Amino acid sequence: MSCGPKRALAQAISPTPTLTCVASLIELVRAHTDLDPEDVAWLQLLQADWQIIADLSFADLILWLPDRAGAGFWAGGQMRPTTGPTAYVDDIVGTFVPTGRRPHLDIAYAEGRLVREGDPEWRDDVPVRAETIPVRRGQRVIAVVGRNTNLLGVRTPSRLELSYLQTAADLTQMIAGGHFPVPGQRSDHADTPRVGDGFLRVDEQGRVVYASPNALSVYRRLGHSGDLDGLRLSEVTRELVPTRLRPDEEALSAVLGGRANRDAEIGAGSVSLIVRAIPLRPHGRLIGALVLVRDVTDLRRRDRELVTKDATIREIHHRVKNNLQTVAALLRLQARRMDSPDAKAALEEAVRRVGSIAIVHEILSQAVEGSVAFDDVADRLGGMVADVGSLGGRLRVRREGSFGELPSETATTVAMVLTELLQNAVEHGYPGLDEAGGTILVTAARPAGRLVFTIDDDGQGLPPGFDLEGSSTLGLSIVGTLVESELGGRLTLGPAPSGRGTRAEIDVPLS
Ligand SMILES: Nc1ncnc2c1ncn2[C@@H]1O[C@H](COP(=O)(O)OP(=O)(O)OP(=O)(O)O)[C@@H](O)[C@H]1O
Ligand SMILES: [Mg+2]
C-alpha cells in the first residue's frame, strides 16, 4: 500500500522528507498495463501483507508492473521497512524503468525466477542490495517485486535476524511459486500485529522454533513463564486462557498451529492479544508458519472506556437533537399551512419549545463530561426567542452573571423553563408590535449550593389581578411543574424592581 496509514507510519520512521502520493495502483494499471481485474485483486492482496515481508527482510519493497507495450516496468507500489533504514529516500510510485536499465527486473519477469545481484549498487551514497521476485498468479508472472536492502543498516545477524530473514525467504519463494498471497479469513482491523509486536516461527506440528523477545513478553503477560521453544503454541495458550475468552477450538488450533491464514483475538482476564498466522509453503508443502502476536490490552481498555463513557452518550444526544430538529421542521411546515392565526401561533410556539430542547441536546452532544456550561445555552435560547416574529431586531436579550456548569439533566429542565419565561416576556410584555422595542435581562448567580436566575422585561407588566397560583394556562403550568417537581425549587412572578415590566425569579437547589 503506497498511500494511507501504513505509508504514513513508514514515513514517520524513515528519514524521508514529506512525500505525496503520486498515483494509485489501479490508476497505474489502467493507464499502462494489460493486467486484468483478478490480477489487480491478487496484487492488492499481496500489498495487504507486504509490510510483513518488508519488515522481515529489513528491506524496501517495490511493486513493478509490466508495461503494456513491453517497454519496461512501472512502479505501482512501495513499502518501507519499519525494522531498518530505507533504501529509497524518494517516492518511487509512478516512475518508469525502461527495459534494459535494470536487467534483473527483465530476467525475473521473463524467466519467472528470483534474481539476486552479486555486488551492491550505490544509490545516493547508500549501498543497496537489490533482489527481484516474480509475482506468479496461476501459470503467469503478472508483476515483479524489487526487494532492496540498505546495507548500512545490516548488522551481524543474531538469531532474531536470521529467523526474520529465513521467514522472508520462505515468503518470497511463495510469491514466486504462486502460493502467496493467500486469500484468508482476516479481520481487516488496524490493530493487526506487526513483526515488531511479537514474532514466532512454528514448525509444521505447530511447535515453536523461534520466539522473538517481544513475543516472549506477550506470553509472559499472559502468565507463561520461561521459554517457548519446542512447545505447541496452541496448547500453551489453551492452558493460559479460560475457554470463554478464547476463540473456538477450531480457530485456536488453526491460528496458533499455523495452519490457516487468519487472525484471532484472545483475552485472558486482564490481557488481550491479537494473533495472526501465515502458513509457510515455500515449495507448495507446509513447512510451518509465521505467527505474529500483539498485546492490545491498553487499546481494548481505552476502547471500552471511550465507548461506555463518552462516545455513545454524545452520539445519542446528537441523534436526539437531529430528531427534535426534524420534529420542529415538521411542525413549522404544518404551521405554514394553517389559516387560523391562533393555530399558527400555537404551532409556532411548539416549534420553539422543541427547538429549545434540541439546543440543549446539541450542547450535550459536544460536552465532554456529564455537565454543561449553561451560559452558552442561555445565550442561544435568548437569541432564538428574540429572533422570532415581527419583533425580531427590536428586542434585545441580555445576560448578566453566570449559570456556571450544570449537570445535564438539570440543564435540560432549566433550558425549558428559561424558554417559556423568555417566551412570555416577548409575547405578553410587548404586545404592541410597533413599540420602540425593549430589553429583556437575564441574570444568573450561583450562591452556595443553589442556582438563582431572573428574567426581567421592561414591557407592559402583568395584567391586573394576575394570580400565579390560579393560572391554568399551559406555559406557566409547564414552568411550575418543572421548577417544583423536577428541580425542587421555587418560582415567583411579579412586577420588575425597576418599576416597569415583569420579573420572573427561579431559585433551585443543586446537589
Ligand atoms: N412577562 C410577562 N408580561 C406580562 N404578562 C405576562 C408575562 N408572563 C406571563 N404573563 C401573563 O400570564 C399569562 C399566563 O402565561 P402562560 O405562559 O402560562 O400562558 P400563555 O403564554 O398565555 O400561553 P402559552 O401556554 O402558550 O404559553 C399570560 O397570558 C400573560 O397574561
Ligand atoms: Mg406562555
- Over residues 379-394, the pLDDT tens digits come to 988 988 877 654 556 7
Q: Which atom of ligand 1 is nearest to 471's Cα?
A: 14
Q: Is 438 in the pocket of ligand 1 (CB under 6 A)?
A: no
Looking at the CA of 423, name the nearest ligand: 2
For residue 435, what pLDDT is reported? 54
Q: Which atom of ligand 1 is nearest to 504's Cα?
A: 1
* Cis amide leading into 181 (omega within 30): yes
3-state secondary structure of 81: coil
Are the C-beta atoms of residues 501 and 507 closer than 8 Å to each other?
Answer: no
Q: Is 463 in the pocket of ligand 1 (CB under 6 A)?
A: yes
Cα–Cα distance, 468 to 471 (Å, whole number): 5
Cβ burial 233-258 (10 Å sphere, 16+ → b, else e): bbebbbebbeeeebbeeebbbbbbbb
Residue 223's alpha-carbon distances to 238, 354, 451, in angstroms, are 12, 56, 54
- With CA atoms as reference, report the closest residue to 197 among 303, 270, 321, 299: 299
- With CA atoms as reference, report the closest residue to 42 among 25, 55, 60, 59: 25
Give the β-pairing of 395-401 and 438-445: parallel
| Closest C-alpha residue for ligand 1 atom 22 | 473
Cα–Cα distance, 142 to 133 (Å, whole number): 11
For residue 287, what pLDDT is reported? 95
For residue 16, what pLDDT is reported? 36
pLDDT in tens, 37-82: 999 999 999 998 899 999 999 999 999 999 999 999 999 999 999 9
Burial class (CB in 10 A: 0-12, 13-18, 19+), 224: middle
Ligand 2 centroid distance, CA of 427 (Å): 7
3-state secondary structure of 358: helix
| Closest C-alpha residue for ligand 1 atom 3 | 429
Q: Which atom of ligand 1 is nearest to 476's Cα?
A: 18
For residue 14, what pLDDT is reported? 38
For residue 300, what pLDDT is reported? 82
Ligand 1 centroid distance, CA of 419 (Å): 12
* H helical segments located in 122-228: 159-177, 213-222
Check the CA dihedral 46-51-56-61 and report its sign.
positive
Ligand 2 centroid distance, CA of 463 (Å): 14
Cα–Cα distance, 371 to 407 (Å, whole number): 4
Regions in the chain scoring below 50 on pLDDT: 1-22, 390
| Degrees, nearest 5: CA angle 428-432-437 | 90
| Closest C-alpha residue for ligand 1 atom 12 | 462
- DSSP H or E segment with residue 253: helix 249-256
- Which grid cell is 408? 445535564
Domain 195-295 - what CATH class?
Answer: alpha beta
Cα–Cα distance, 55 to 85 (Å, whole number): 10
Q: CB-hemisphere CA count at 13 Å for 381? A: 32
- With CA atoms as reference, report the closest residue to 450 among 417, 425, 476, 483: 483
Ligand 1 centroid distance, CA of 240 (Å): 71
Cα–Cα distance, 293 to 277 (Å, whole number): 9
In this structure, what is the dihedral angle of CA atoms 453, 458, 462, 467, given to the nearest 10 degrees? Answer: 20
Ligand 1 centroid distance, CA of 260 (Å): 74
DSSP 428-483: HH---TTS--EEEEEEEE--TTEEEEEEEE-SS-SPTT--TTT---HHHHHHHHII
Are the C-beta atoms of residues 86 and 80 closer than 8 Å to each other?
Answer: yes
Cα–Cα distance, 362 to 364 (Å, whole number): 5
Are the C-beta atoms of residues 376 and 363 closer than 8 Å to each other?
Answer: yes
| Closest C-alpha residue for ligand 1 atom 24 | 475
First to last CA, the chain: 56
Q: Which of 424, 481, 483 has the most ligand 1 atoms within 8 A of CB, as the residue to mutate?
A: 424
- CA gyration radius, the chain: 35
Q: Is 428 in the pocket of ligand 1 (CB under 6 A)?
A: yes
For residue 23, what pLDDT is reported? 61
Fold of 4-177: Beta-Lactamase (3.30.450)
Cα–Cα distance, 486 to 479 (Å, whole number): 10
Q: Is 502 in the pocket of ligand 1 (CB under 6 A)?
A: yes
3-state secondary structure of 329: helix
Is the domain defined by 387-511 classed in CATH 2.102.10.10? no
Q: Which of 426, 427, 481, 502 has the most ligand 1 atoms within 8 A of CB, as the residue to mutate?
A: 427
